[in-house]
C-alpha cells in the first residue's frame, strides 16, 4: 500500500448529488438542439455518395430557386485553409475542392427556413463526379498499385512511427521463451445519444457558436484560424452535452459550414447531424492490426516487447496522429519491462476518418497484449493472475519510454481482484462452459502537452463570491459532457474555500465568460482543472482569512474556514459566518475573486513522439470477469465483472463508480457486438442503432467495483483519472475468460458469438483433444 | 377531425392539407394545426416548446423521445401527430407536479443514475409506465421495461438501482464496494 495522506475533508470525498441532476430529470436541461433563436434558419450538409471521386462540377442553381432556400454554399464560399490536429497533417478542407475521399465527405451545404426544405434543396444540388478507384483495405493501402488519396502523403502513409528503447533483440536472445501473436481490432463508433448540433450567429464581425462540444477552446482556436478572426471575436459555448466519448472533440462541418451560412444570410443557422450522418462523420475507434512479440524468463518475467501495428486512419488525420502514438506508448504502463520497440503505420483509406474514442488508441493494443500474455502464461503453465502480479508495475518507477509513474497500486489492484472475484477457488474449477479471465489497464490523467502547440496553461479557473456571501460562482472552461465535472469541480472549489457545495453555482465551458481550459479529453479535468480550481479556492480563502482577522482582531494564522464557518481551532468563542466575512469584504474592498491556473511540469523524453502518453499521473486498474459460453450457439454471457481501480483520492464516490460502470459498458459493447461495417463501395452497412448494436439494459453483467488506497502527489488532494481507464482491461479480460472457458482464442474484435461458434467448430473438426 | 382545405394552388401543385388536432399535453389542452406527415416528436418540441423530449435517432431505435400516450410509452418519432389526436400525452415536463420531483426523478438524482442526461427523460417515462402498471417489479422486469431506451453513459447500473429504489424493491444489480 502506498503512503496515504489521510485528510479530513468537509466536501470532497462525498457523494453529493449532481449539480445539474434536477434540471436533467425534469427535462429543463437545454441541449444545443433545444435552443431556438429569432429568425433562425436550419442547415444541412450535402455529402459524397462515393468513397473516392473527382468533383467535375457542382450546380447549385436549381436548389437556389426553391422557395425557402436562403443560401447554398460550396468550397467556393469557404476558406480553403486545411485543418486537423497538427500542422504537419492539416489535411481536411471545410468543403471538398477537387476530390471526395469517403462516403460522407462534405461537398456543399444549405440554409433554409425549415428542415424539410433543406432536404429538397440538397436533392436539387447537381454534382457531377468521376468515380475513382478507392482504397478500402488498410493492409494494402501502401501497395504500389493503390490509388493515392492525398497527393502529399506518398503511398497513403499518414504516419510512420519507429520507437526503440533498450535492446529488444538482446532481450529476446536472453529469453527463456519468445512468442508472437497477431490480433485485429474493430472500428467502433463513440455513439453519443445526442446527435451533434451547432448553431452559429454573427453580430457584426463577432461570431457566436453554440455547439455540442467537448472542448469549446479547441473549437474556438480552429474556427478563428479558418476565418482569420481574432480569437476574441469567436465565442464558442456549450449548453448541456449529451455525451461525447471523444467524438465531439474536434470541430466539424456543422461549425465551419454553419458560420459561413450564418454570415451569408445574416441569420442564426442551426446545423445538425442525423444518426446516419453521425456514423458517416465518425471519428471513432481505429481498427488496428497488432502483432506483438514478447520474450520472458522461465518465471514469466517480461524481458522485452515488440509491438508492430498498422491502423486504418480513414480519409483524414482527424486526431489520429495522437491515437497512433498512444497505441504503443500506453503498452508500457501496467507491467515493468526495460526493452520495448514500437512500430506503427497509420494509413489512409477511403473510409470515414478515425479519431479519439474513450481510451484513445490504447484499448485494442491492451486487448492484444493481455491476450498475448495469457497465451504465454498457458504455454509456461503459469496462472494468469500470477504472471500479472509478477510483472506488475511498482510506484515511483519510469517506463522504458520515459513516463514517470508516481502512485501505482497495480499489484494491489490485482490482489484485490483476485480476492473479491474468488479467483483461486474458481480458476480451473468452474463447470463446463464457464471461464474466468483477468486483464489490466492504465490511463493518463490528462495529457502532459496541449492539444495544439501553445504555451497557454492547461487549465484556469476563477471563483467569484457573491456580495452577500450566500453564493459563489465557479467560472471554468472545463467541459461537463455528462461525466460530472461541474459537480466535482464545485466540490473542490467549496473544499478549498471552506464553503458548502450546496451554495456553489457554476458557469462553465464558454470561451467568453470562463477562463481558458482545454476541455474534456484525456481524462484531464479532475486533476488539471481541479488543480486550477483548488488554487482559485485557496486564493478566496486567504482573502477571507485576512479580512476576518481584521474583523475579529485575531491573527489570521490562527483562523480557519470550513463549511461556511470562520473559526479558530484553538478558541471556540471566535466565530463568524462565511456570509458575514464575505459581505464585509465586498463593502470594504470590492468583489471577492480568486483565480488559479495549472500547467503540468515538464515531462517525457527527447525522442520523436515523446510527448504523447506523458501525464502528471496514471490510473491503474485490474478487471476479472466470469463468462458462460453456449457451446451450441457461441453465445457469450458475461456473468460478473470485478473492477478494482487505483484512481487516487476520490472526490465523489458515486460519480466515480458511475464512470467505472459506463466505461465497462462501453468496453462490453466493443468486446462482443460493436463494429462499423462497410460494403465493397465503402458505404456503411449499419449506420443506425438497431444494426450497430450497443448494449441494452438486459445485456449488462453484474458489476462489482472496488478501489485500493492510493494518493497521487501530482494531483490536487491526491486525485487522478477514472473515466477512460476502466475501458482498457475489458476486451482482453473477456477474451481471456473465453479462452479459459473453451480453450479457444478469439484473435479479433468484436469477439462475437459467431466467432466463438466457428472456433469451437474448427476445433471439433480438428479431432478430439488429447 | 377538422381539416383545413386550402384551395389555393402553388407552382408545385395543390397545397398539402392541414389538420387541426386536439391534444392534452401534461394536462394542458392544446390545439395545433399540422401537416399529415408531422411527427408527434416535432410537434412537441417545435410547436409546443417541450424540448425535454429528445431526438436521438428518429428511427425508433434509441427511445430518447419516449412519451406516454394514454399511459403507454411510445417513441414520439414513430407516431404521427394525427394519430395522437384526442389523446392524453405526458412528457418529461409533466412528471414533476407543482415543482416537486416525482419519486422516480428523485431516485434518479439520488442514485447517480444521470450522466449526460440525454436519455433520462425517455428512461424516466418508460420507468413510470412500468411502475404504474406494476408497482413492485422484479429486476428483470425493470431491465426489460427500459431495454428500448439506450444509454451510453451509465451501463444502466444506477438507472436500474434508481427504478428499484422508487419501487422499493431490493436489487442485486450491483454490489459495489463503497469507496474505501
pLDDT in tens, B12-54: 566 778 999 999 999 999 999 999 999 999 999 999 999 999 9
Q: Above 60 in pLDDT, residue A656? A: yes
**Distance between start and end Cα atoms, chain B:** 63
Q: Nearest Cβ partner of B179 from A22, A696, A707?
A: A707
What phi and psi values does residue A510 have, to the nearest 5 degrees?
-140, 115
pLDDT, tens only, A728-740 = 999 999 999 999 9
User: Does B119 contact A706 at a Cβ distance shorter than 8 Å?
Assistant: no
Instruction: Determine contact, residues B23/B87, Cβ cutoff 8 Å.
Output: yes
Looking at B110-166, which runs of residues are DSSP E strands?
A: none
Q: Nearest Cβ partner of A26 from B105, B119, B149?
A: B105
Instruction: Determine contact, residues B59/B77, Cβ cutoff 8 Å.
Output: yes
Q: In this structure, what C-alpha cell is assigned to residue A532?
A: 486550477
Structural domains of chain A, ranges and CATH numbers in brackets: 21-28+450-598 (3.30.365.10), 32-132+195-241+248-281 (3.90.1170.50), 362-446+615-765 (3.30.365.10)
Determine the Cα–Cα distance for residues A406 and A184; give it in Å rounded to an integer: 32
Name the average pLDDT for chain B: 91
Return the residue in A18, A23, A26, A652 with the most chain B beta carbons within 10 A, the one to mutate for interface testing: A26
Q: Above 80 in pLDDT, residue A370? A: yes
What is the rounded (10 degree) CA torsion for A663, A666, A670, A676?
-130
pLDDT at B177: 39
pLDDT at B169: 80
Contacts with A275 from chain B: Cβ below 8 Å: 56-59, 61-62
Return the residue in A16, A17, A24, A44 with the most chain B beta carbons within 10 A, the one to mutate for interface testing: A24
% of chain B exceeding 70 in pLDDT: 88
Q: Is the peptide bond before A750 cis (omega within 30 degrees of 0)?
A: yes
B112 CA: distance to closest CA in chain A (Å): 6
Name the pLDDT band for A5 (thresholds 50, 70, 90): very low
Q: Nearest Cβ partner of A24 from B114, B142, B160?
A: B114
Cell 464558442 maps to which residue?
Answer: A236
pLDDT at A3: 39
User: Does A484 contact B51 at a Cβ distance shorter than 8 Å?
Assistant: no
Residue of B nearest to A710 (CA): B180
Name the average pLDDT for chain A: 97
Long-range CB contacts (< 8 A, 24+ apart) of B15-22?
Answer: B19/B82, B19/B85, B21/B81, B21/B82, B21/B84, B21/B85, B21/B86, B22/B85, B22/B86
Q: Nearest Cβ partner of A194 from B51, B116, B144?
A: B116
pLDDT, tens only, A737-753 = 999 999 999 999 999 99
What is the mean predicted confidence (pLDDT) over B86-93? 98
Instruction: Determine contact, residues A281/A212, Cβ cutoff 8 Å.
Output: no
Residue of A nearest to B117 (CA): A24
Determine the Cα–Cα distance for residues A92 and A82; give it in Å rounded to an integer: 5
User: Does A193 contact B173 at a Cβ distance shorter than 8 Å?
Assistant: no
pLDDT at A511: 98
Contacts with B117 from chain A: Cβ below 8 Å: 20, 23-25, 29, 240, 242, 482
pLDDT at B97: 86
Q: At what angle do helices A216-227 and A253-265 cross, to 10 degrees?
A: 50
Name the pLDDT band for B180 (thresholds 50, 70, 90): very low
% of chain A exceeding 90 in pLDDT: 97
What is the mean predicted confidence (pLDDT) over A749-767? 94
% of chain A exceeding 70 in pLDDT: 99
Q: Above 80 in pLDDT, residue B8? A: no
User: Does B112 contact A657 at a Cβ distance shorter than 8 Å?
Assistant: yes
What is the mean predicted confidence (pLDDT) over A193-219? 98
pLDDT at B178: 36
Q: Nearest Cβ partner of B117 from A29, A36, A195?
A: A29
Fold annotation for B103-166: DNA polymerase; domain 1 (1.10.150)
Name the pLDDT band for A314 (thresholds 50, 70, 90): very high
pLDDT at B1: 66
User: Does B109 contact A18 at a Cβ distance shorter than 8 Å?
Assistant: yes
Determine the Cα–Cα distance for residues B79 and A16; give it in Å rounded to an integer: 39
Contacts with A241 from chain B: Cβ below 8 Å: 116
Cell 454570415 maps to which residue?
Answer: A263
Strand partners, A341: A164, A306
Residue of B nearest to A25 (CA): B105
Q: Nearest Cβ partner of A700 from B110, B121, B156?
A: B156
Return the residue in B116, B137, B143 with the most chain A beta carbons within 10 A, the one to mutate for interface testing: B116
Q: Nearest Cβ partner of B180 from A21, A664, A707?
A: A707
What is the mean predicted confidence (pLDDT) over A394-415? 98
Contacts with A32 from chain B: Cβ below 8 Å: none
User: Does A25 contact B101 at a Cβ distance shorter than 8 Å?
Assistant: yes
Tally the residues of chain A: 770
Q: Above 80 in pLDDT, residue B9? A: no
pLDDT at B118: 98
Return the residue in A25, A44, A118, A707 with the most chain B beta carbons within 10 A, the one to mutate for interface testing: A25
Determine the Cα–Cα distance for residues A263 and A85; give it in Å rounded to an integer: 26
pLDDT, tens only, A578-592 = 999 999 999 999 999
Name the pLDDT band for A332 (thresholds 50, 70, 90): very high
Name the pLDDT band for B175 (thresholds 50, 70, 90): very low
Determine the Cα–Cα distance for residues A633 and A631; give it in Å rounded to an integer: 6
Q: In this structure, what C-alpha cell is assigned to residue A680?
A: 465493397
Name the pLDDT band for A380 (thresholds 50, 70, 90): very high
User: Does B179 contact A657 at a Cβ distance shorter than 8 Å?
Assistant: yes
Determine the Cα–Cα distance for residues B124 and A26; give it in Å rounded to an integer: 9
User: Does B180 contact A709 at a Cβ distance shorter than 8 Å?
Assistant: yes
User: Does B154 contact A661 at a Cβ distance shorter than 8 Å?
Assistant: yes
Instruction: Determine contact, residues A439/A642, Cβ cutoff 8 Å.
Output: no
Domain ranges of chain B: 2-93, 103-166
Q: Above 70 in pLDDT, residue A407? A: yes
Q: Domain B2-93 is of which CATH architecture?
A: Roll (3.10)
pLDDT at A199: 98
What is the mean predicted confidence (pLDDT) over A94-123? 98
B1 CA: distance to closest CA in chain A (Å): 25
A165 CA: distance to closest CA in chain B (Å): 38
ipTM for the whole predicted complex goes beyond 0.95: yes
Return the residue in B34, B55, B99, B117 with the most chain A beta carbons within 10 A, the one to mutate for interface testing: B117
Counted across chains A and B, CB pairs separated by less than 8 A come out at 205
Contacts with A653 from chain B: Cβ below 8 Å: 178-179
pLDDT, tens only, A61-81 = 999 999 999 999 999 999 999
Instruction: Determine contact, residues A295/A172, Cβ cutoff 8 Å.
Output: yes
What phi and psi values does residue A382 have, to the nearest 5 degrees?
-115, 140
pLDDT, tens only, B95-130 = 998 889 999 999 999 999 999 999 999 999 999 999
Return the residue in B148, B154, B179, B180 with the most chain A beta carbons within 10 A, the one to mutate for interface testing: B179
Q: Nearest Cβ partner of A193 from B118, B160, B172?
A: B118
Amino acid at each position: 500500500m502506498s503512503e496515504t495522506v489521510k485528510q479530513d475533508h468537509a466536501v470532497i470525498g462525498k457523494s453529493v448529488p449532481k449539480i445539474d441532476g434536477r434540471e436533467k430529470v425534469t427535462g429543463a436541461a437545454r441541449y444545443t438542439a433545444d435552443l431556438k433563436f429569432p429568425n433562425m434558419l436550419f442547415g444541412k450538409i450535402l455529402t459524397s455518395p462515393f468513397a473516392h471521386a473527382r468533383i467535375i462540377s457542382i450546380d447549385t442553381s436549381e436548389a437556389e430557386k426553391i422557395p425557402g432556400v436562403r443560401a447554398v454554399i460550396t468550397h467556393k464560399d469557404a476558406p480553403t485553409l486545411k485543418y486537423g490536429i497538427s500542422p504537419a497533417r492539416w489535411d481536411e478542407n471545410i468543403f471538398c475542392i477537387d476530390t471526395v475521399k469517403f462516403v460522407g465527405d462534405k461537398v456543399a451545404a444549405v440554409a433554409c427556413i425549415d428542415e424539410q426544405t433543406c432536404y429538397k434543396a440538397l436533392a436539387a444540388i447537381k454534382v457531377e463526379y468521376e468515380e475513382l478507384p478507392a482504397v478500402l483495405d488498410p493492409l494494402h493501402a501502401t501497395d504500389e498499385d493503390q490509388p493515392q488519396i492525398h497527393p502529399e502523403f506518398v503511398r497513403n502513409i499518414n504516419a510512420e512511427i519507429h520507437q526503440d528503447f533498450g535492446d529488444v533483440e538482446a532481450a529476446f536472445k536472453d529469453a527463456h521463451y519468445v512468442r508472437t501473436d497477431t490480433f485485429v481490432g474493430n472500428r467502433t463508433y463513440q455513439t453519443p445519444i445526442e446527435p451533434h448540433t451547432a448553431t452559429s450567429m454573427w453580430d457584426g464581425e463577432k461570431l457566436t457558436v453554440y455547439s455540442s462540444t467537448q472542448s469549446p477552446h479547441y473549437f474556438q482556436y480552429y474556427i478563428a484560424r479558418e476565418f482569420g478572426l481574432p480569437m476574441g471575436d469567436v465565442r464558442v459555448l456549450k449548453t448541456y452535452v449529451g455525451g461525447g466519448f471523444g467524438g465531439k472533440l474536434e470541430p466539424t462541418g456543422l461549425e465551419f459550414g454553419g458560420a459561413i451560412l450564418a454570415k451569408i444570410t445574416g441569420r442564426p443557422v442551426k446545423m445538425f447531424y442525423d444518426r446516419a450522418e453521425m456514423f458517416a462523420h465518425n471519428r471513432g475507434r481505429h481498427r488496428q492490426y497488432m502483432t506483438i512479440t514478447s520474450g520472458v524468463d522461465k518465471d514469466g518475467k517480461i524481458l522485452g516487447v515488440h509491438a508492430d501495428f498498422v491502423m486504418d486512419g480513414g480519409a483524414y488525420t482527424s486526431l489520429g496522429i495522437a491515437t497512433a502514438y498512444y497505441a504503443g506508448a500506453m503498452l508500457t504502463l501496467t507491467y515493468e519491462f526495460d526493452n520495448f520497440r514500437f512500430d506503427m503505420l497509420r494509413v489512409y483509406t477511403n473510409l470515414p476518418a478515425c479519431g479519439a474514442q474513450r481510451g484513445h488508441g490504447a484499448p485494442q493494443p491492451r486487448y492484444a497484449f493481455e491476450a498475448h500474455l495469457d497465451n504465454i502464461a498457458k504455454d509456461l503453465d503459469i496462472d494468469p493472475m500470477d504472471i500479472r502480479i509478477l510483472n506488475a508495475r511498482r510506484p515511483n518507477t519510469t517506463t522504458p519510454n520515459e513516463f514517470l509513474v508516481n502512485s501505482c497500486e497495480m499489484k494491489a489492484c490485482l490482489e484485490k481482484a483476485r480476492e473479491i472475484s474468488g479467483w483461486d477457488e474458481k480458476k480451473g474449477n468452474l463447470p463446463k462452459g464457464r471461464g474466468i479471465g483477468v486483464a489490466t489497464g492504465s490511463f493518463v490523467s490528462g495529457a502532459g502537452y496541449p492539444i495544439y502547440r501553445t504555451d497557454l496553461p492547461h487549465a484556469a479557473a476563477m471563483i467569484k463570491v457573491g456580495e452577500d456571501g450566500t453564493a459563489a460562482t465557479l467560472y471554468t472552461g472545463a467541459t461537463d459532457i455528462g461525466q460530472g465535472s461541474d459537480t466535482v469541480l464545485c466540490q473542490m472549489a467549496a473544499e478549498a474555500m471552506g464553503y458548502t457545495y450546496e451554495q456553489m453555482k457554476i458557469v462553465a465551458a464558454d470561451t467568453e465568460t470562463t477562463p481558458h481550459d482545454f476541455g474534456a479529453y484525456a481524462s484531464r479535468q479532475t486533476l488539471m482543472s481541479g488543480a486550477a480550481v483548488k488554487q482559485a479556492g485557496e486564493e478566496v480563502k486567504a482573502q477571507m482569512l485576512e479580512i476576518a482577522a481584521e474583523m475579529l482582531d485575531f491573527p489570521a494564522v490562527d483562523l480557519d474556514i470550513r463549511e461556511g464557518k470562520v473559526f479558530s481551532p484553538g478558541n471556540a468563542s471566535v466565530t463568524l459566518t462565511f456570509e458575514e466575512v464575505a459581505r464585509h469584504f465586498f463593502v470594504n474592498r470590492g468583489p471577492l475573486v480568486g483565480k488559479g491556473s495549472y500547467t503540468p511540469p515538464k515531462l517525457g523524453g527527447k525522442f520523436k513522439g515523446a510527448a504523447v502518453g506523458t501525464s502528471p499521473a496514471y490510473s491503474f486498474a485490474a478487471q476479472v470477469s466470469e463468462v458462460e459460453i453456449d457451446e451450441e450457439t457461441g453465445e457469450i454471457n458475461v456473468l460478473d465483472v470485478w473492477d478494482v481501480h487505483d484512481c487516487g483520492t476520490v472526490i465523489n464516490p458515486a460519480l466515480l463508480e458511475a464512470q467505472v460502470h459506463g466505461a465497462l459498458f462501453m468496453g462490453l459493447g466493443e468486446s462482443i457486438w460493436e463494429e462499423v461495417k462497410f460494403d465493397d463501395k465503402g458505404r456503411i452497412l449499419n449506420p443506425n442503432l438497431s444494426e450497430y448494436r450497443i448494449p441494452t439494459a438486459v445485456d449488462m453483467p453484474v458489476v462489482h467495483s472496488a478501489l485500493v488506497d492510493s494518493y497521487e502527489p501530482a494531483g490536487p488532494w491526491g486525485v487522478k483519472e477514472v473515466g477512460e481507464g476502466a475501458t482498457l482491461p475489458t476486451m482482453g479480460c473477456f477474451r481471456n475468460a473465453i479462452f479459459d472457458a473453451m480453450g479457444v482464442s478469439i484473435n479479433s474484435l468484436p469477439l462475437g458469438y459467431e466467432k466463438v461458434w466457428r472456433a469451437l467448430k474448427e476445433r471439433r473438426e480438428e479431432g478430439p483433444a488429447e | 377531425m377538422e381539416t383545413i382545405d386550402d384551395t389555393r394552388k402553388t407552382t408545385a401543385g395543390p397545397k398539402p392539407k392541414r389538420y387541426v388536432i386536439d391534444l392534452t399535453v401534461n394536462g394542458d389542452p392544446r390545439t395545433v394545426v399540422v401537416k399529415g406527415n408531422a411527427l408527434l416528436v416535432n410537434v412537441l418540441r417545435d410547436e409546443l416548446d417541450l424540448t425535454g423530449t429528445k431526438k436521438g435517432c428518429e428511427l425508433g431505435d434509441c427511445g430518447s423521445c419516449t412519451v406516454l400516450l394514454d399511459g403507454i410509452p411510445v417513441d414520439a418519432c414513430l407516431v404521427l401527430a394525427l394519430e395522437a389526436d384526442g389523446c392524453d400525452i405526458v412528457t418529461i415536463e409533466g412528471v414533476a407536479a407543482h415543482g416537486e420531483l416525482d419519486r422516480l426523478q428523485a431516485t434518479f438524482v439520488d442514485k447517480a443514475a444521470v450522466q449526460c442526461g440525454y436519455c433520462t427523460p425517455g428512461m424516466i417515462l418508460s420507468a413510470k409506465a412500468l411502475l404504474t402498471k406494476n408497482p413492485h417489479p422484479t429486476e428483470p422486469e425493470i431491465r426489460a421495461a427500459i431495454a428500448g431506451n439506450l444509454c451510453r453513459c451509465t451501463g444502466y447500473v444506477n438507472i436500474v438501482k434508481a427504478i428499484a429504489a422508487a419501487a422499493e424493491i431490493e436489487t442485486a444489480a450491483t454490489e459495489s464496494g463503497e469507496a474505501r
